[in-house]
Amino acid sequence: MKSRNLTSFVASGSSPLGDPVAIDAGGTYECRSHQTESSAYVSSSSTAGDDLTRLSFTDVRFSYPRTSLFGGAPSPVLAGFSWQAPDGCTVILGPNGAGKTTLLSLGATALRPTQGSVSLGDLDSSRRRDLRAFRRSVGWMPQQVRAIPGLTSREQVAYAGWLKGMSRSAAWTEAVTALERVDLTDEADRLTAQLSGGQQRRVGLAQLLVYRADLLLLDEPTAGLDPGQRARFRDLLRQVAQDVPVVVSTHQVDDLTDLFDTVIVMDHGRIPFQGSTEAFMALAPDQSTHQAEAAYAALISDER
């Protein structure tokens, strides 16, 4: 398989395999619509007419800044990159260095594109007046959830809410609910630094839930966790995804579950595949025992 130009791929509206791709503007949130009726979670920042779950990149170029005066210009991680996150829940697969973290960091505005724009609905992250609303709508969990020294889980989650613009009292109150959602009520008054790695990830997730983001971007959320913790985190993610669309990056193919509506494979700053989970699985040779790994291997080896 030859790599494809992403722009033409999106414009064509078809996957590399010719399957329909979930990029229609009026699409439904598969993962969120599973149990819409049971959801009591309503976005606090969405406004009528804005779809603050629709993250898109237009002709984005990004290079990590030089840190030395005499260093040469670093090669761009993304160049001419255009992409629109599909509706529903999405998993981004790709090897280390593929650009997944950069993509999510740009989507969260933790990084700024050197060129091009990143937008969320009508909000353009490069516009000063949009930035606050943009950031309030996106929840980003980086690869490593850091404990804030001295703070308990509840205090850390509340502080995260305050950083996202909540009032102190609202953040303090909502932190209880957020911790409840990630099943950490019993640990609310323990120092975050004393929690296990898996519990700290859940605190990280609660930090996003406390301010009710419209879209969650989770970067390698299960990396470094033992199998039990990973399974538990996936279950948790499944619950969370009922209420809010999620984009998860991972290089671990076994993170791929039926939770996700769309699978994206990223490599060297490009997207050689975007399609449904079924379409992705179909890439595997017929006899494969581990279908997902085989599909991924076929795609990546073809790319390289």
**Residue 127 binds other proteins (CB under 8 A):** no
Residue choice 27, 80, 95, 142 for contact with other proteins (CB under 8 A): 142
Q: How far is the CB of 110 from other proteins (least distance, A)?
A: 5
Residue choice 165, 268, 298, 302 for contact with other proteins (CB under 8 A): 165
Give the nearer residue to other proteins in terms of CB position, either 200 or 276. 200
**Residue 75 binds other proteins (CB under 8 A):** no
Residue choice 140, 260, 273, 296 for contact with other proteins (CB under 8 A): 140
**Opening angle at CA 251, ends 20 and 90, nearest 5:** 35
Residue choice 24, 35, 146, 197 for contact with other proteins (CB under 8 A): 146
**Residue 62 binds other proteins (CB under 8 A):** no
Give the nearer residue to other proteins in terms of CB position, either 137 or 291. 137
**Residue 100 binds other proteins (CB under 8 A):** no
**Residue 66 binds other proteins (CB under 8 A):** yes
**Three-state secondary structure along the chain?**
CCCCCHHHHHHHCECCCCCECCCCCCCCCHHHHCCHHHCCCCCCCCCCCCCCCCEEEEEEEECCCCCCCCCCCCCCCEEEEEEECCCCCEEEECCCCCCHHHHHHHHCCCCCCCEEEEEECCEECCCHHHHHHHHHHEEEECCCCCCCCCCEHHHHHHHHHHHCCCCHHHHHHHHHHHHHHCCCHHHCCCEHHHCCHHHHHHHHHHHHHCCCCCEEEEECCCCCCCHHHHHHHHHHHHHHCCCCCEEEEECCHHHCCCCCCEEEEEECCEEEEEEEHHHHHCCCCCCCCCHHHHHHHHHHHHHC
**Residue 177 binds other proteins (CB under 8 A):** no
The piece of 95-103, 163-171, 253-261, 275-283 that touches other proteins (CB under 8 A) is 163-171
Q: How far is the CB of 159 from other proteins (least distance, A)?
A: 5
Whether residue 212 contacts residue 43, with contact meaning beta carbons closer than 8 Å, is answered with: yes
**Residue 69 binds other proteins (CB under 8 A):** yes
**Residue 57 binds other proteins (CB under 8 A):** no
**Residue 158 binds other proteins (CB under 8 A):** yes
Give the nearer residue to other proteins in terms of CB position, either 158 or 248. 158
Interface residues with other proteins (CB under 8 A) are 65-69, 108-110, 132, 135-136, 138, 140, 142, 144, 146-151, 155, 158-159, 162-165, 168, 171-172
